Amino acid sequence: MPTIKKLISQEKLRQQRTLMMIPSENYTYPEVRRAVGSVLMHKYAEGYPGHRYYQGMRFVDQIEKLAQERVKRLFGVPHANVQPYSGSPANAAVYFALLKPGDTIMGLALDHGGHLTHGYPRITFSGRYFHSLQYRIAKNRPPWFDFTQLARVVRREKPKVIVVGTTAFPRRLPWKKFAQLAALVNAYLLADISHVAGLVVAGVCPSPVRWVDIVMTTTHKTLRGPRGAILMVTKKGLRHDSKLAWKINRAIFPGLQGGPHLGVIAGIAIMAKKAAQSEFHRYGQQVVANAKILARELKKRGWRLVTSGTDNHLLVADLHPLTVDGKTAAVRLEEAGIIVNANAIPNDPQPPFRPSGIRLGTPALTARGMGEKEMVIIADWLNQAVRSNDNQLHSQIAQKVKKLCRQYPIDLD
Ligand SMILES: Cc1ncc(COP(=O)(O)O)c(C=O)c1O
């Protein structure tokens, strides 16, 4: 039996030698990894800074306050809770703060790019404990959604919370139009910017802060922080409901969670400082530039892309023209040293485990310093590997991938 130590070092090598192209993954900073694994994990701190249920808070209170202040400044919001363990409990906390079981929520369907926690029916807490309505992408150009039809549904069903956010949608979301929709029935509007938060703070993706009541983001995707999440209340949210910040805090602790993960909170503080720097702005710009080049190059090679391109860090390829399903393509790519995930396309006729598409992202490649030249090469490898079932060809590409990775090393110590 291999030891855990050995398996971690093998995983490290895997991450160094392959192309990480799952859009929700990224490399965080060594300082963040050290903070997460630091002595902070020994400490319990139920409650919030200044109002704890334990002693020994002198330093950890300062850490949490610093994280809150930096996050507030970074996103321009009056309230931030940095305690959510991850994105799913953060979304759960919003619902528990604002809804009773059986109340209506509205979120984007999974195969149209939404997340499981946005009301996916039957098997998720959000679809089981609440009455969930799923909306869909209805147009092939902005604003992407049919707001006339959505307005009819909203007036009829009166959702209490509307969730807007995506896990596999390559375009900008029309925040103002969703704000107008929510206003029809005085619904709370939750922006889940888990995927694009890094692009928002880098100024390359529109911020929802002006338009919504609550913003949730995970901290480990384009933000490049530790695995965690943040819940923010906007000025608009406080005008809508003066108790909103209090409700969110109460829903996280004691409503849903116990002691916060203080190492992660320290990691969030480090991430927030880095994300405010001009170097991070350049990183965000390059992430989007790289995704656009990848889209252009794949289209040149006969690929069909959902919405026919991208404005952010990811692409969703509809593999029908390549006559291969998403799972087969993802397995072939793994053999070639390129790690992606199979993904549903809108109105996918195929089941979720063998969907018709794959999802590709540029955040981690860009973190390694790759740019336009590398995207052209990678598009070619993607195309060759997906179209062929020849294992030898896949191994040859994997060797080339390893060489490219050596030219763009990433510090994983
Ligand atoms: C849009 C969105 N919301 C929520 C989540 C859930 O985050 P976590 O996996 O940290 O629970 C994700 C994760 O992929 C996501 O993409």
Find the 25 Cα to ligand 1 centroid distance in Å.
11
Find the 114 Cα to ligand 1 centroid distance in Å.
10
The model's confidence at residue 1, banded by pLDDT at 50, 70 and 90, is: confident
Cβ of 196 closer than 6 Å to ligand 1, yes or no, is: no
Tokens at 235, concatenated? 């000025």
Sign, CA torsion 204/217/76/27: negative
Structural domain 30-275, CATH architecture = 3-Layer(aba) Sandwich (3.40)
Provide the percentage of residues in the chain whose pLDDT is more than 70.
Answer: 100
Find the 218 Cα to ligand 1 centroid distance in Å.
7
Q: Which of 377, 340, 345 is nearest to 360 (CA)?
A: 340
pLDDT, position 206: 98
- Provide CB contacts within 8 A for 170, sequence distance 6+: 291, 295, 305, 306, 307, 309, 310, 311, 312, 314, 315, 316
Query: What is the spatial distance between Cα 120 and Cα 126, in angstroms, rounded to a whole number?
Result: 7
Ligand 1 atom nearest to 88, measured from its CA? 11
Query: What is the spatial distance between Cα 119 and Cα 385, in angstroms, rounded to a whole number?
Result: 36
Neighbours of 408 (CB within 10 A): 15
Q: Which of 46, 295, 339 is nearest to 171 (CA)?
A: 295
Cβ of 362 closer than 6 Å to ligand 1, yes or no, is: no
Find the 103 Cα to ligand 1 centroid distance in Å.
22
Give the predicted TM-score (pTM) of the model: 0.98
CB 36 within 8 A of CB 264: yes
pLDDT beyond 90 at 388: yes
Q: What is the average per-residue pLDDT within 77-100? A: 98
Task: Tell me the C-alpha to C-alpha distance, in Å, between residue 224 and each of 49, 270, 271, 338.
Answer: 25, 10, 7, 20
Catalytic residue numbers read 44, 46, 192, 218, 221, 227
Query: What is the spatial distance between Cα 391 and Cα 146, in angstroms, rounded to a whole number?
Result: 45
Q: Which of 391, 160, 154, 198 is nearest to 287 (CA)?
A: 198
pLDDT beyond 90 at 227: yes
Strand partners, 231: 81, 216
Domain 278-407 is classified in which CATH homologous superfamily? Aspartate Aminotransferase, domain 1 (3.90.1150.10)
Q: First and final CA of the chain: distance in angstroms? A: 24
- Residue among 120, 194, 196, 314 to mutate when testing ligand 1 (max atoms within 8 A of CB): 194
Ligand 1 atom nearest to 220, measured from its CA? 10
Task: Tell me the C-alpha to C-alpha distance, in Å, between residue 101 and each of 130, 241, 352, 384.
Answer: 5, 20, 28, 50
Cβ of 220 closer than 6 Å to ligand 1, yes or no, is: no
- Provide CB contacts within 8 A for 340, sequence distance 6+: 21, 22, 329, 330, 333, 358, 359, 360
**What are the tens digits of pLDDT across the range 20-42?**
999 999 999 999 999 999 999 99
Q: What is the average per-residue pLDDT within 257-286? A: 98
pLDDT, position 408: 98
Cβ of 83 closer than 6 Å to ligand 1, yes or no, is: no
Mean per-residue pLDDT over the chain, rounded: 97
Residue nearest to atom 16 of ligand 1 (CA): 167
**What are the tens digits of pLDDT across the range 130-180?**
999 999 999 999 999 999 999 999 999 999 999 999 999 999 999 999 999
Query: What is the spatial distance between Cα 252 and Cα 244, in angstroms, rounded to a whole number?
Result: 13
Every domain of the chain and the residues it spans: 30-275, 278-407
Residue nearest to atom 13 of ligand 1 (CA): 87
Task: Tell me the C-alpha to C-alpha distance, in Å, between residue 412 and each of 13, 61, 140, 216, 340.
Answer: 9, 29, 41, 28, 20
